[in-house]
Structure formats: structure tokens, C-alpha cells
Amino acid sequence: SSDVCSSDLRPMRIKVLYHESVEELDASRRRIVKEKVVPDAVNHWQNVFKVVNGGKRIRLNRKCENNQYFLSSDDPTQYCRNRCVTTKCGEWDVPEEHLEACSTCDKDGRNCKTDKNRGKGLSDVDFVLYVSAQAADQCTENVAGQAETVAYAAHCQQEDELDRPVAGHTNICPNSIKKPARDILSLTSTLKHELLHALGFSSSLFAFYRDKSGRP
């Protein structure tokens, strides 16, 4: 079989979108996130990684009620059982324009249909990163010997052909956003590490890795 890695490789292009929780930070912390920490972490990996089959339009699959859906061997469409519900990527409610159409079947897998509500998606990008800054449950402070969580990240969507993650999220815990230079450097280093999880370096994705010929 052909070597997929022999095809043209180009630097990964990451599209960053900021949640309203980032915009609601005070001016100093908002600048740290949007002008320093996130750009530095994202630019680092854009300069490191190159992608195969990049640049395809990215649309996220809709979430199904109770995470129940139907698949068939000859149709890649994911049909939700009964109905589609709000699609989340981390702390984000994914915008409608970023989503695939809502495809549903009844509870028995019959009467399947696809609504005409497919979003335009995101083009000319290899990965979309949804960034938030909420005091979520995962945000823990360094108390009673418990390690502090300053940020976390994960993937939300893979592309069909080679299973590469194409969308993910990161949440930066607001209490970790501090002005001293050493704290900014530490947060940037942590975010670089966390973004690796969203970009594919995660145990939940190891089974999707492929060899240089594109074989699982």
C-alpha cells in the first residue's frame, strides 16, 4: 500500500475560539490568556506538527439523547435514537454552524431522516480549539496536599479517513491565571502539555494510531 506520509505535509493550522467565560475575565487576566498563554502554546504545536490530509472542512457530530445512536456498515452517518440534543465540547455549547445535520431514527431504528440543518463548518483549518476559562469541577486548588489543576484538555471529534483529532477543548482554571512572569510561564507550559492530549496523545486514542501506510 502507498505511504501516506510520502504525500505533501504542511504545518498544522489551529483555529482558536474563545468562550464567553474568557471574555468575562478582568482585563489583566483576559490579556494573559488571549495575548500570551494560548497563542504561545498553540504556536508551539503549529510549528512542531505537520498533518496528512489536512484542510478538510470540519463539522462536529451532534450529540444524541442518552448517547444512543444507530450506525450501518454502508452508511457513515450517525443516526441518533429519537432525537439530537445540545452538543458540547468541553465547557462549550458547540455553535450550530459548526455541526453536522441532525439525523434521527425512531427507537427501533426505523423511519430514519436527516434534517436540513447542516452547518457550514470551519474551512482552511486542521484543528479547532474551543477555549474556556470557567471555575469547573475539575479545577482544584492546592489544599490539604491535593495537587492543583490549572488547565485540562481533550479531543471532541476525529476525522473519518485517518482518525486524527480535528476538534478539541481546553479549560483554563481562572485562579491559575496570575500576572507574575513565572506563573505565566508555568501556565503556558501546562497548557502545552494539555493540548497534546487534545491533539491525539491520549490513551483513549492510542487504538486509532496508524502506521506510515495509513493502516490501523
List residues with catalytic annotation.
Answer: 194
Q: State the sign of the Cα–Cα–Cα–Cα dihedral 134, 135, 137, 141.
A: positive
Number of neighbouring beta carbons within 10 Å of residue 52:
18
Own/partner contacts of 178-184, CB < 8 Å, gap of 24 or more, are: 179/28, 179/32, 184/32, 184/36, 184/37
Rounded to the nearest 10 degrees, how much is the dihedral formed by the CA atoms of 14, 17, 23, 27? Answer: 10
Q: State the sign of the Cα–Cα–Cα–Cα dihedral 26, 155, 164, 95.
A: negative
479531543: which residue's cell?
155
